[in-house]
Protein backbone atom coordinates (compact mmCIF):
# COMPACT_ATOMS: atom_id res chain seq x y z
CA UNK A 1 0.00 0.00 0.00
CA UNK A 2 1.20 3.43 -0.91
CA UNK A 3 0.34 6.83 0.45
CA UNK A 4 0.83 10.36 -0.77
CA UNK A 5 0.65 13.19 1.73
CA UNK A 6 0.44 16.83 0.76
CA UNK A 7 0.19 19.91 2.90
CA UNK A 8 -1.45 22.57 0.78
CA UNK A 9 -1.16 26.27 1.46
CA UNK A 10 -3.86 28.87 1.14
CA UNK A 11 -3.03 29.56 -2.49
CA UNK A 12 -3.24 25.93 -3.60
CA UNK A 13 0.52 25.75 -3.32
CA UNK A 14 2.19 22.64 -1.95
CA UNK A 15 3.94 23.33 1.34
CA UNK A 16 5.14 19.82 1.94
CA UNK A 17 4.82 16.57 0.03
CA UNK A 18 5.69 13.02 0.84
CA UNK A 19 5.04 9.73 -0.85
CA UNK A 20 5.51 6.72 1.36
CA UNK A 21 4.52 3.10 1.77
CA UNK A 22 3.16 1.16 4.65
CA UNK A 23 5.34 -0.52 7.24
CA UNK A 24 2.64 -2.99 8.13
CA UNK A 25 2.41 -6.46 6.60
CA UNK A 26 6.09 -6.56 5.82
CA UNK A 27 6.09 -3.32 3.84
CA UNK A 28 9.40 -1.48 3.60
CA UNK A 29 7.96 2.03 3.73
CA UNK A 30 8.63 2.71 0.05
CA UNK A 31 5.80 4.02 -2.15
CA UNK A 32 4.74 1.63 -4.88
CA UNK A 33 2.66 3.81 -7.13
CA UNK A 34 2.44 2.76 -10.74
CA UNK A 35 4.10 5.03 -13.29
CA UNK A 36 0.78 6.44 -14.52
CA UNK A 37 -0.33 7.07 -10.98
CA UNK A 38 2.89 8.67 -9.80
CA UNK A 39 2.78 11.52 -12.28
CA UNK A 40 -0.87 12.14 -11.45
CA UNK A 41 -0.66 12.21 -7.66
CA UNK A 42 -0.30 15.96 -7.13
CA UNK A 43 -3.06 16.62 -9.64
CA UNK A 44 -5.49 14.21 -8.00
CA UNK A 45 -4.92 15.87 -4.67
CA UNK A 46 -5.26 19.30 -6.21
CA UNK A 47 -8.58 18.35 -7.80
CA UNK A 48 -9.85 17.14 -4.42
CA UNK A 49 -9.47 20.68 -3.07
CA UNK A 50 -12.72 21.56 -4.82
CA UNK A 51 -14.56 19.05 -2.68
CA UNK A 52 -12.67 20.04 0.45
CA UNK A 53 -13.85 23.62 0.01
CA UNK A 54 -17.41 22.37 -0.12
CA UNK A 55 -17.15 20.00 2.80
CA UNK A 56 -15.22 22.22 5.21
CA UNK A 57 -18.27 24.43 5.73
CA UNK A 58 -20.58 21.60 6.61
CA UNK A 59 -18.80 20.32 9.70
CA UNK A 60 -17.24 21.67 12.90
CA UNK A 61 -14.40 19.22 12.95
CA UNK A 62 -11.09 19.75 11.25
CA UNK A 63 -10.84 16.17 10.09
CA UNK A 64 -13.10 15.77 7.08
CA UNK A 65 -12.68 12.02 6.57
CA UNK A 66 -12.70 10.73 3.01
CA UNK A 67 -13.76 13.59 0.75
CA UNK A 68 -13.05 12.30 -2.70
CA UNK A 69 -11.92 9.29 -4.59
CA UNK A 70 -10.21 8.49 -7.85
CA UNK A 71 -10.73 4.94 -9.05
CA UNK A 72 -9.43 2.83 -6.14
CA UNK A 73 -7.75 5.67 -4.33
CA UNK A 74 -9.35 7.75 -1.62
CA UNK A 75 -8.46 11.21 -0.45
CA UNK A 76 -8.79 12.14 3.21
CA UNK A 77 -8.59 15.75 4.27
CA UNK A 78 -7.88 17.85 7.33
CA UNK A 79 -8.31 21.62 7.36
CA UNK A 80 -6.42 23.67 9.93
CA UNK A 81 -7.67 26.85 11.49
CA UNK A 82 -5.40 28.82 9.20
CA UNK A 83 -6.94 27.23 6.09
CA UNK A 84 -3.97 24.99 5.48
CA UNK A 85 -5.14 21.67 4.09
CA UNK A 86 -3.61 18.28 4.78
CA UNK A 87 -4.54 15.76 2.14
CA UNK A 88 -3.71 12.10 2.09
CA UNK A 89 -4.12 9.81 -0.88
CA UNK A 90 -4.63 6.25 0.31
CA UNK A 91 -6.08 2.92 -0.75
CA UNK A 92 -7.86 1.54 2.31
CA UNK A 93 -10.34 3.14 4.62
CA UNK A 94 -8.77 3.47 8.06
CA UNK A 95 -10.41 6.55 9.49
CA UNK A 96 -9.09 6.38 13.02
CA UNK A 97 -5.41 6.03 12.29
CA UNK A 98 -5.61 8.66 9.57
CA UNK A 99 -7.27 11.05 12.01
CA UNK A 100 -4.53 10.50 14.58
CA UNK A 101 -1.92 10.82 11.87
CA UNK A 102 -3.40 14.17 10.82
CA UNK A 103 -3.66 15.44 14.39
CA UNK A 104 -0.01 14.64 15.01
CA UNK A 105 1.01 16.29 11.75
CA UNK A 106 -0.98 19.32 12.86
CA UNK A 107 1.11 19.31 16.00
CA UNK A 108 4.31 19.28 14.00
CA UNK A 109 2.99 21.91 11.63
CA UNK A 110 2.11 24.26 14.52
CA UNK A 111 5.64 23.90 15.82
CA UNK A 112 6.94 24.86 12.40
CA UNK A 113 4.68 27.89 12.24
CA UNK A 114 5.97 29.02 15.62
CA UNK A 115 9.37 29.44 14.02
CA UNK A 116 9.85 33.21 13.51
CA UNK A 117 11.71 32.58 10.27
CA UNK A 118 8.84 30.68 8.73
CA UNK A 119 6.09 32.47 6.81
CA UNK A 120 2.74 30.95 5.95
CA UNK A 121 2.68 29.16 2.59
CA UNK A 122 6.44 28.80 2.56
CA UNK A 123 7.70 25.37 1.59
CA UNK A 124 8.79 23.32 4.59
CA UNK A 125 12.21 21.92 3.78
CA UNK A 126 13.39 21.08 7.28
CA UNK A 127 14.87 17.57 7.43
CA UNK A 128 13.74 17.32 11.05
CA UNK A 129 10.15 17.93 10.05
CA UNK A 130 10.48 15.42 7.26
CA UNK A 131 11.89 12.77 9.58
CA UNK A 132 9.14 13.37 12.13
CA UNK A 133 6.44 12.98 9.51
CA UNK A 134 8.05 9.76 8.32
CA UNK A 135 8.09 8.46 11.86
CA UNK A 136 4.43 9.35 12.24
CA UNK A 137 3.64 7.55 9.02
CA UNK A 138 5.46 4.49 10.31
CA UNK A 139 3.58 4.69 13.58
CA UNK A 140 0.07 5.01 12.24
CA UNK A 141 -0.11 3.70 8.68
Binding of residue 91 to other proteins (CB under 8 A): no
Q: Please choose, from the candidates 57, 109, 102, the residue with its C-alpha nearest in 3D space to the C-alpha of residue 75.
A: 102
Site size toward other proteins, by CB under 8 A: 24
Q: Which of residues 61-90 bind other proteins (CB under 8 A)?
A: 79, 81-83
44 binds other proteins (CB under 8 A): yes
What distances in angstroms separate CA 98 from CA 41, 105, 126, 141, one per listed residue? 18, 10, 23, 7
Q: 74-86: buried (b, 16+ CB within 10 Å) or exposed (e) per residue?
A: bbbbbbbeeebbb
Residue 49 binds other proteins, judged by CB under 8 A: yes
SS3 87: strand
Nearer to other proteins, 47 or 110 (CB): 47
Residues that bind other proteins (CB under 8 A): 10-14, 38-40, 42-44, 46-47, 49-51, 53-54, 56-57, 79, 81-83
Amino acid sequence: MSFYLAIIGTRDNPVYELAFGTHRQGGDGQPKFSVQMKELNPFIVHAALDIVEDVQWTTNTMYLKVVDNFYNYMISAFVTAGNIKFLLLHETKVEDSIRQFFVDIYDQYIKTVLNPFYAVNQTISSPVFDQKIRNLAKKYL
